[in-house]
Every structure is written in C-alpha cells, then in structure tokens.
Structure 1
C-alpha cells in the first residue's frame, strides 16, 4: 500500500506534533526539578526560618507537581 504525498505529510505532521508535545512535557518536568533543587537549597540555608522564607518556592513546587506531569502522546491521537 503506497501513501500519497498528502497522507505522508499528514503522518509527518502527526509525528512532529507528538515530538513537540513530549519535548514540552519534559521541559515542564525539568523546570519542576529545578524548583525542587532551589527549594532544597533554601531549606538548608534558612534553617529554622525555612517555613517563612521558602514558602513561595514550596507553593510553586506543589503547583508544578500537579500541572507538569510527563504525558505521552496518545491523548493527541484520540
């Protein structure tokens, strides 16, 4: 079965969309990792005052954990 140029272009566009989606998903996951590392450093530096001084990082990290999950591409094709 041979593909026409239009079918091949559609398949290539789908594959490119999948790659882009997965790449963006990994970038968001790595951003969450960086925030976690900064939060860890803040805890170590601030000591007993970490609850007040690092609250913004903790809130941002928990928000990122909810939103920035690595997801596959299957939901794109449905």
Structure 2
C-alpha cells in the first residue's frame, strides 16, 4: 500500500526524474528540486523521531519503575528512527555519514 498524504503534503513532488547524480549540475532546476526533496525527507524523519521521543516520554511517565520492560519497543523504535538523523550521540561511529564520506 502506497503512502497517502493529505493537505499540502499531497501536492509535494517526489524526486525529479531528470536528476543525474553523476553530473548533478547538468540540469540546475533538477538539482534544486532534488535538494528540496532531500531536505523535505530529512525533515519528515526528524519530525517522526520527535513524535517517537514524545511517545517514549509518555510511556516512561505511565509505567514508572517498570519502564525498562514495558517501554522497550518504543525505545527501540525511537533509537532506530534517529540513526542518521540530526546530531545525536547514537550517530557517532558506524551510523555517522560524515565519517563514511571522507
């Protein structure tokens, strides 16, 4: 099943079809559209991580001392969502894109 977006998000274009990663500046309009697409996708990942973080915080408040056992799935989902998103301590090491690009 494909993602369905509503409101303004329904009108956002996807990645441009004429963008060539080997020569990104061949078509400058496609390069800018690609950059906007990448930034938009990163922002979606950041907001998803924020929502998951709020879910973890609520679970910790509700469960009290049993949060280690009862919030394990929420914490795993949150930690998985922050890999390669923003600047977090969990991105240091194998998940750090800056290290891979050097």
TM-score (norm 2): 0.56
For the aligned residues, what is the CA RMSD? Answer: 1.7
If you compute each CA radius of gyration, which structure gives the higher value, 1 or 2?
A: 1
Secondary structure (helix, strand or coil) at the match of 1:23 reads: helix
Unaligned runs of 5+ in 2: 1-25, 88-102
Q: Which residue of 2 is the match for residue 24 of structure 1?
A: 41
Unaligned runs of 5+ in 1: 1-8, 71-78
Q: Which residue of 1 is the match for residue 78 of structure 2?
A: 61
Higher relative CO (Cα under 8 Å, sequence separation at least 6) belongs to 1
Q: How many residues align?
A: 62
Equivalent position to 1:50, from 64, 67, 77:
67
Structure 1 segments, 4+ long, off by >6 Å, are none
